[in-house]
Structure 1
Amino acid sequence: MDRPALREDRPSRDSQAALRQRHPGHAGKRRREISSPGVEYDREGFVDAADGTQLFYEERGQGEPAVVLTDGIGCDGFAWRYLAPRLAQHHRVLHWHFRGHGRSGPPIDHDQLSIEDLARDLQRICEERDIVRPVIVAHSMGVQVALETYRQHPDSVGALILMCGTFGRITSTFHGTDLLDQVLPGLIRGTRMFPGVARAVWGRVPAAMAFRVACAGRELDGERIQQEDFQRYWEHAALMNPDVFLRMLQFAGDHDARGFLANIEVPTLVVAAEHDTFTPMTLAEEMADAIPDAELEVVDGASHAAPVEQPDRIAERVEDFLSSRLGLVRTPA
């Protein structure tokens, strides 16, 4: 079988302008100068997925096992702003963008946005970058992608660190109800019937206003999160094609890894946030109970954005886990 094309590594700062021009990711919209918020990577490139969609990756650091950072839906790295530099002190850290996100290309087929498709993308990148049995660190919907990657290729995963996510059916548990699951098909139909209107409306709420509303509604921990971190997330989501976002969300709502959690045989850390309204803490507890020998860490007072609200606590817990379960070096405090 022919191997997919691999773009050569290149210095990230020197070639970002050229890369953005060749691989804009979000056609017709201006891009930010930094591909992943607040994190400096020194190697980057593109891998062609099986269907030809261009997948962006960026790397920093050295050391095995490699750590693969896997975002949630609508994200291009905001969750890893503080954790990635710390892990890169002792590990090769690779962060990649989902199809239709960040600097990855738009999906060739909007019916290939499933969790299974994303897991195949992750595996393709690891194969092309010669990454063997990585530690997959995932946030939000990325948790489902990590679990599906293990289901597809159990011998290709070294460990799992699953943050603020669940095993599946996320549209049926958002805020503890299935309302999102009920309204999502109608939203997708409307977006496809009136794409111009959808693009005009999508992302119109200013980041500052969204931040105030989210904090007031306790969707975020307003005392700990920096508005700048939220703003970078919001601005990226606003650049996305709304049909890609909604269709991917629908696929995530159809995916369910519950049935094979008991078959996971690699070290696993589940990180839950006490006030997570997107993926309620009870789901993380259920997932940790179902995975043999999994460890559970509950971050008191945190929301779905726990990795940027309490980065030091989470980084310390991740390093403790890597040290105790994999025998790896821990960064001195």
Structure 2
Amino acid sequence: MKITEKKTGYFKSFDGTKIYYEVRGEGPPLVFCYGIGCLINHWQHQIKYFSQNYKTIVFDYRGHHKSEVPKNIKNISIKSLAKDLKGLLDHLEISKAGFLGHSFGAQVLLCSYEMFPEYFHNLTFINGFGSNPIRGMFKTDLVSQFFEVFKSGYDLAPGVCTKLWKLATKNPIAIRLSALAGGFNLNLTHLKDVEIYARGISSIDLTTFLTLFEDMIQYDARPLYPNISIPTLIIGGKNDSVTPMKYQEEMHKQIKNSELLMVPYGSHCTQLDLPDFVSLRIEKFLKNASFEKDSYIKKEAPLKPLPSDLSSEKMANS
């Protein structure tokens, strides 16, 4: 299967922050949202598969990779990411789409759905959660304590913490530790994808990451679950130690007529562990949801050219 041609562009969001995006294929629009600190690479298999028959759209969150860091720290929040998503849809002149969110991407989509439900035809959550995911992560409360200690250390010595943050990509042991922290199943996921993840997360501005991480902890979308009335597919991994099955099961119980798939041997990145299995299940869901071709595209929007300072190496890492 050949990957379709990639079109890239930028648009200015509500506060002037430039947001980077990629579009492939033609057909009903599917928008992909990755996890906090992650990369477009997390969706590589699904983009390759679905761009054959759908218009796939993915973007970098503000402060992530090719998108700008907002000038005002108050605009680093889940709500701001939701506004960016709406801005992207308006920029591409898309009136309704299907949305897929992995991990933290589920929170982004839940917030977006609450703010502008008219844009949503269907939802797919993969290893998603709606409330604080670090309470009990890895079956312990140490993650929560570590975050508080690290954040306090960053407030006191940001330079030292930033240096340690970036050094993580150069140490093979640290890369494997980041694989565990990121919830990868190293028996199923290629180490190359883990290395890309490690490099990507270390390149993110720490102020951006810590501010958004804190908002992720505080955000609670569970009251919204009973109000979701569109087709919803919920996918979890039976071996996910980052966001265990209880999060997906809670979603399924409270979201009316939702579908639940628990993937055997699936880690926190089931879409990378078993990409064909996951993609086929999503495709079945989309067909059952009557997501008809070209129903929700107003017209082809102009794509802005990439600035000359973006090298091919940087593009490859996306």
For Structure 1 versus Structure 2, the TM-score category normalised by the shorter chain is 0.7 to 0.9
Scaled by the length of structure 2, what TM-score is found? 0.86
In structure 1, C-alpha distance between the alignment counterparts of 2:45 and 2:138, rounded to whole Å: 27
Tell me which residue corresponds to 1:253: 217
Count matched residues.
291
RMSD: 2.1
- Structure 1 stretch displaced more, 153-162 or 205-214: 205-214
- The Cα shift of 1:215 comes to 6.4
Q: Which amino acid aligns with 1:95?
A: V
Tell me which residue corresponds to 2:184: 220
Structure 2 gap ranges (5+): 294-318
In structure 1, C-alpha distance between the alignment counterparts of 2:19 and 2:176, rounded to whole Å: 33
Is the contact between residue 238 and residue 266 of structure 2 (CA under 8 Å) also seen in structure 1?
yes
Q: How does 1:60-99 map to 2 (within 5 A)?
A: 60-64=24-28, 66-99=29-62
Tell me which residue corresponds to 1:142: 105
Tell me which residue corresponds to 1:165: 128
- What secondary structure, in the 3-state scheme, does the structure 1 residue paired with 2:289 have? helix
The CA deviation string for residues 5-62 of structure 1, in whole angstroms up to 9 with x for no partner, is xxxxxxxxxxxxxxxxxxxxxxxxxxxxxxxxxx775211111111111111110101
Q: Does 1:271 align with 2:264?
A: no
- The Cα shift of 1:203 comes to 3.0
Is the contact between residue 273 and residue 302 of structure 1 (CA under 8 Å) also seen in structure 2?
yes
Closer, same or farther in 2 for the Cα pair 1:257/1:197, shift >3 Å?
Answer: same
Q: Which amino acid aligns with 2:33?
A: T
Q: Which has the higher contact order (CA 8 A, sep 6+)?
A: 2
- What secondary structure, in the 3-state scheme, does the structure 1 residue paired with 2:58 have? strand
In structure 2, C-alpha distance between the alignment counterparts of 1:207 and 1:88, rounded to whole Å: 35
- The Cα shift of 1:211 comes to 4.3
- The Cα shift of 1:192 comes to 2.9
- What secondary structure, in the 3-state scheme, does the structure 1 residue paired with 2:167 have? coil
Q: Does 1:104 align with 2:75?
A: no
Is the contact between residue 164 and residue 271 of structure 1 (CA under 8 Å) also seen in structure 2?
yes
In structure 2, C-alpha distance between the alignment counterparts of 1:82 and 1:226, rounded to whole Å: 12
Structure 1 gap ranges (5+): 1-38
- What secondary structure, in the 3-state scheme, does the structure 1 residue paired with 2:239 have? coil
The CA deviation string for residues 216-275 of structure 1, in whole angstroms up to 9 with x for no partner, is 899432221100111111111111111211111100001010001000011100010111
Q: Which amino acid aligns with 2:218?
A: D
Q: How does 1:121-132 map to 2 (within 5 A)?
A: 121-132=84-95
- What secondary structure, in the 3-state scheme, does the structure 1 residue paired with 2:243 have? coil
User: Of 44, 47, 71, which aligns to 2:11?
Assistant: 47
- What secondary structure, in the 3-state scheme, does the structure 2 residue paired with 1:170 have? coil
Tell me which residue corresponds to 1:12: none
Q: Does 1:289 align with 2:253?
A: yes
Is the contact between residue 4 and residue 52 of structure 2 (CA under 8 Å) also seen in structure 1?
no
Percent of matched pairs sharing the same residue:
28
Q: How does 1:157-236 map to 2 (within 5 A)?
A: 157-205=120-168, 206=170, 208-213=172-177, 219-236=183-200
- The Cα shift of 1:319 comes to 0.5
Q: Which amino acid aligns with 1:254?
A: Q
Scaled by the length of structure 1, what TM-score is found? 0.82
Is the contact between residue 114 and residue 251 of structure 1 (CA under 8 Å) also seen in structure 2?
yes
In structure 2, C-alpha distance between the alignment counterparts of 1:217 and 1:192, rounded to whole Å: 23
